[in-house]
Amino acid sequence: MRNFSPPLRDIRFITHEVLAAVPTLREIGRYAQLDEQTLDSVAAEAGRFCAERIAPINAAADSVGCRWRDGEVQTAPGFQQAFHEYVRLGWPALGVEERLGGQGLPRIAFSSLNEMVAAASHAFVMISAINHCAVACLQGSAAPTLQQRWLPEIVSGQVLTSMCMSEPQAGSDLGLIRTRAVLRPDGSYGVRGSKIFASGAQHDLSDNIVHLVLARVDGAPAGTRGLSLFLVPKLLDGGQPNQLTCTGIEHKMGLHGSPTCGMYFDDAQGWLVGELHGGLKALFPMMNEARLLSGLQAVGIGEAALQAAQQYACDRRQGRAGAGAQEPSRLVCHADVQRMLLTQKAWTEGARALAYWVAMLIDEAQLHPDDARRHQAAELLALLTPVVKGFLTENAQHSTSLGLQVFGGHGYIAETGVEQLVRDVRVTTIYEGTTGMQAQDLLMRKVLQDGGRRLQLLLGCMGRWMDAVDGAHAVQPYLGQVRELQSRLLCVTRHLQARHDRRPESVHGASAAYLRLMGHAVLSWLWARMARQAMDAEPADAWYAMKARTAGFYFTQLLGETLALEQAALADHEDCAGLLESAMA
């Protein structure tokens, strides 16, 4: 069984030294009394719980997993007890406003919690964090009576939730959904249809589960414009079961501890959330929250893989590093192992900086008293959400794979727990919109649709910070690389805008490369910020020295990928569907 050590110093470094979260968040009335000690205490207690209660049950989550029988799902050994303790300690309510029964802490505290839960057990965070997404949905669109009935129990964790969107014939194409909803005399709806890939739609962790179900009413327009959202509880008021059944759980490549359910709604009673035919609009806050949580999962699982690989590399002796070595060297002394560990560190620690910055933007966009600040944060958030979801999760695939590689053959067997991380993290690039979908959303909707206005806002934010850095500071060479990449990103954007204006479909093939190019543009800026803090810290502190060394590695070894990405984005992309089909004939 692998161990998990909460990365508290890294969390404090990003929260206080790089992002200066407390003075920024104090501008928001709700957080006027916030102090560093509060955030540090929350992270420390969350880390302790994750290390002591969640990490020990993760191996069984994989080896035993969830079991389905006669419509009921039994979770992995230890999950019931750990989740009930998680609820008792109030962790589900950490970031929810106090008037709803929450603790009213900022999103950056919620982020540190869920990063560490994901590091301890990806399956557990799939269950523990979903209610946060549902609260965002119901707060934004549900009628007051629905909110009063369900939000207190959802916030506390007494009732859990699920998203029921996909169907066998639809997958990610929600316009193909066939589930129907028929108005009843009492104002509720009867919901009938089949759903697949519904995480946590049946389990034994709570007596009741609230399903948020996309369906169509009679006469609804075709496609996504005709979808409505319905709240469908497992148990109705009075405790009687609703007319719905779990038809089975998926047997997946990984994430065995999270029940991914097939569901059948057989005229189940539900209530409309939001407006008729406004299902995607109502569900959008929940989907957005889930996408940002995917980025935090990438951070957590990447951290777990890094910790395991670094510990093994420092303990294991094999081969001889350097000329004249007489005894087997520790793996960490080998140059290629250092390359792999530094790559893991660059992706994971950079991802944490981006995810936590975005967490602060969420609070600013929702709560800042200044209208202009709220608008700017909302615009940045719209631009960065697909980057968090697409870029960070793709990097986590590479990072966890390198972690396994450090272990060599011992990483490929189950005892070390590393191969589980590789399998578990794989789904993060798939669910809540694949990387390709995020890339098209970024390029087509968030950049080209507004003529690059949001992009200019982002680059301006980055530029102001760089302009404020002393011209003689040792970080200036990195800033030169960041500025040069920004210039190339703008050139690519202008080229794609011109091509899009002539023929919109011609730029779709550039979207994946563009997303990675944008990801590097943001990550390079954040690594420059981290490098500056590390360089200005105590020079004898090896921890800061390692941070500065990792920044240097990122700029010299990983940022060069952007040259290839630029060429890929600028190249013409011809439709070769016919050739691919012919090749199969």
Is residue 389 within 8 A of residue 433, CB to CB? The reply is yes
What is the Cα–Cα distance from 445 to 435, expressed in whole angstroms? 15
What is the distance in angstroms between the CA of the first residue and the CA of the last residue of the chain? 48
Question: Is the sign of the CA dihedral 402, 387, 366, 201 positive or negative?
Answer: negative
**Helix, coil or strand: residue 14:** helix
Q: How far is Cα 113 from Cα 125, in angstroms, rounded to an integer?
A: 10
Burial of residue 331, with CB atoms counted within 10 A of its CB: 0-12 exposed, 13-18 middle, 19 or more buried? buried
Q: How far apart are CA 477 and CA 460, in angstroms?
A: 19
Question: Residue 8, class by beta-carbon neighbours within 10 Å (0-12 exposed, 13-18 middle, 19+ buried)?
Answer: middle
Residue 270 β-bridge partners: 189
Question: 177 Cβ partners below 8 Å, 6+ apart?
Answer: 165, 167, 170, 193, 214, 215, 216, 227
> Is there a contact between 15 and 112 (Cβ–Cβ < 8 Å)?
yes
Nearest in space to 489 (alpha carbons), one of 460, 455, 461, 512: 455
Q: What are the tokens at 364? A: 């600013």
Neighbouring CB atoms inside 10 A of 9's CB total 10
Query: Tokens standing for 244?
Result: 């719905």
Number of H helices, E strands in the chain: 20, 9
> How many residues does the structure list for the chain?
585
Torsion of CA 97, 99, 101, 104, to 10 degrees: 30
Determine contact, residues 447/455, Cβ cutoff 8 Å.
Answer: yes
* Other C-beta atoms lying within 10 Å of the C-beta of residue 80: 16
Query: Is beta strand 260-273 parallel, antiparallel or unpaired with respect to 228-233?
Result: antiparallel
Q: How far is the C-alpha of 525 from the C-alpha of 463, rounded, in Å?
A: 9
**Token pair listed for 83:** 């989740």
Give 251: exposed, middle or buried? Use CB within 10 Å, 0-12, 13-18, 19+.
exposed
Question: Which residues are catalytic, by number?
Answer: 432
Q: Which helix (H) or strand (E) holds 193?
A: strand 189-199
| Nearest of 355, 362, 437 to residue 392 by alpha carbon | 355
Q: Which residue has the tokens 């200019």?
A: 456
Tokens of 149: 């009935």
Q: Which residue has the tokens 């014939």?
A: 169
Q: Where are the alpha helices (DSSP H) in 320-452?
A: 335-367, 371-407, 418-425, 435-440
**CA dist., res. 583 & res. 577, Å (int):** 10
